Amino acid sequence: MSTQELKSTIRDMVVVGKGILAADESVKTATKRLASIGTESTEETRRQYRNLILTAPGIEKYICGVILFEETLSQKTDNGISFPEHLTKVGVVPGIKVDEGLAEFEGSVEQYTKGLDGLGSRLEKYKKFGCRFAKWRAVYHITENTPTEMAIKRNAEDLAKYAKICQEHGIVPIVEPEVLIDGTHSIDTCYKVTEKVLKEVFAALKKENVMIDYTILKPSMVISGKEASNRAGVDEVAGKTVKCLKATVPAELPSINFLSGGQAPQEATAHLNRMHTLGENLPWYVSFSYARALQDPALKTWQGKKENFGAGQIAFIKRAKLNSLATMGKYAENMENNNLNIVAVH
Ligand code: 5MM
């Protein structure tokens, strides 16, 4: 197997000041997002929304890769170019979510991820659309009795099998183990669970002979449960996240790109920024792969209305720029009220 493709994809996706946009919401999730602005979810409204985000002028200054959903691969921009072609043209690497969603372990709240069957042939199909990387998400629920050893092990093994198949097909795998934020748990409980999960994931990747230097990790941050009392502040989240990653993630991994996992956009940016101002030596590039924390302000501004198209794009570019600054520790809270010289082109 030639590693040339993997090498050039990593080169194009690990770029100082840039991060990854997750725009891979399944139809079910996209429908939920559109419902939040009172817009019906149809193939056409999903296309219109993706067109707003993916054709935002200047996206390539802050975003190096976009995770797409299968439906989007064959949809077109308002200018009639397919979305993957448009992204490639502006210098952004297209990628694809290849997992097929979650299923419950019998009699449990715990879940595993579907999609290993026929993955190789699907990857070959996605490559023809220009996709150069893939994403697979596993989730871990924190309750009194979970996550169990069984769920941690099974999800790690499946993430490793997926990553191996991707690399065999010249596709860079994004490995996404998400410790869910839902619940009343403390940040210390989240730390313990995340540490266990990441140790198991890297042990499984090693066992499966996955090339770590051609892999991207998309983890959740170490953070208090959403309904916890006395939730940890920015310094503690950043400090404990970096400590946990240093204890579990090999230095040869090129890039860690966080998910936002239900954090407010401003919160996700502040946490990332703080990780870069702790004065810690970070052996990997540390950046973002947010969906909601990058898109929510744009969605709310757009409201499904043509006349808000330009303003929606500005809202998206602003979030992308603020997160870009955060990857360099250059974000400050007062920038939230500034227009950052972003202007509408349409
Ligand atoms: C955790 O979700 C991923 C990151 O998004 P956030 O930054 O909003 O947490 C995201 O890539 C997610 O996997 C996609 O939105 C797809 O979700 P579904 O549930 O539709 O597969």
Which conformational region is residue 306 in: left (phi greater than 0), alpha (psi within -120 to 50 degrees), or beta?
alpha
- Summarize pLDDT for 198-241 with one digit per residue, the tens: 999 999 999 999 999 999 999 999 999 999 999 999 999 999 99
Closest ligand 1 atom to residue 268 Cα is: 7
Closest ligand 1 atom to residue 262 Cα is: 9
How far apart (Å, rounded) are the C-alpha atoms in residues 107 and 92? 43
Angle at 189 between CA 264 and CA 181, to 5 degrees: 25
Whether 95 is in a domain gets the answer yes
Pocket test for ligand 1, best of 29, 99, 113, 272 (most atoms within 8 A of CB): 29
Residue nearest to atom 1 of ligand 1 (CA): 261
**Total domains in the fold of the chain:** 1
Pocket of ligand 1 (CB under 6 A): 22, 24-26, 29, 67, 101, 137, 178, 259-261, 290-293
Q: What is the pLDDT of residue 290?
A: 99
Pairing state between β 133-140 and 285-288: unpaired
Q: What is the pLDDT of residue 108?
A: 93
- Summarize pLDDT for 94-150 with one digit per residue, the tens: 999 999 999 999 999 999 999 999 999 999 999 999 999 999 999 999 999 999 999
How far apart (Å, rounded) are the C-alpha atoms in residues 330 and 297? 21
Whether 343 is in a domain gets the answer no
Quote the ligand 1 centre to 38 CA distance (angstroms).
Answer: 21
Q: What is the pLDDT of residue 219?
A: 99
Catalytic residues: 176, 218
Q: Is the pTM of this model over 0.85?
A: yes
Whether 124 is in a domain gets the answer yes
Token readout for 176 is: 């996404």
Whether 272 is in a domain gets the answer yes
For residue 236, the domain's CATH number is: 3.20.20.70
The dihedral formed by the CA atoms of 202, 180, 175 and 150, expressed in degrees to the nearest 10: 50
Whether 344 is in a domain gets the answer no
How far apart (Å, rounded) are the C-alpha atoms in residues 217 and 245? 10
130 is in which domain, residue-wise? 3-337
Quote the ligand 1 centre to 1 CA distance (angstroms).
Answer: 31
- Summarize pLDDT for 298-337 with one digit per residue, the tens: 999 999 999 999 999 999 999 999 999 999 999 999 999 9
Neighbouring CB atoms inside 10 A of 263's CB total: 22
Whether 147 is in a domain gets the answer yes
Whether 346 is in a domain gets the answer no
Q: What is the three-class DSSP state of 135?
A: strand
Whether 345 is in a domain gets the answer no
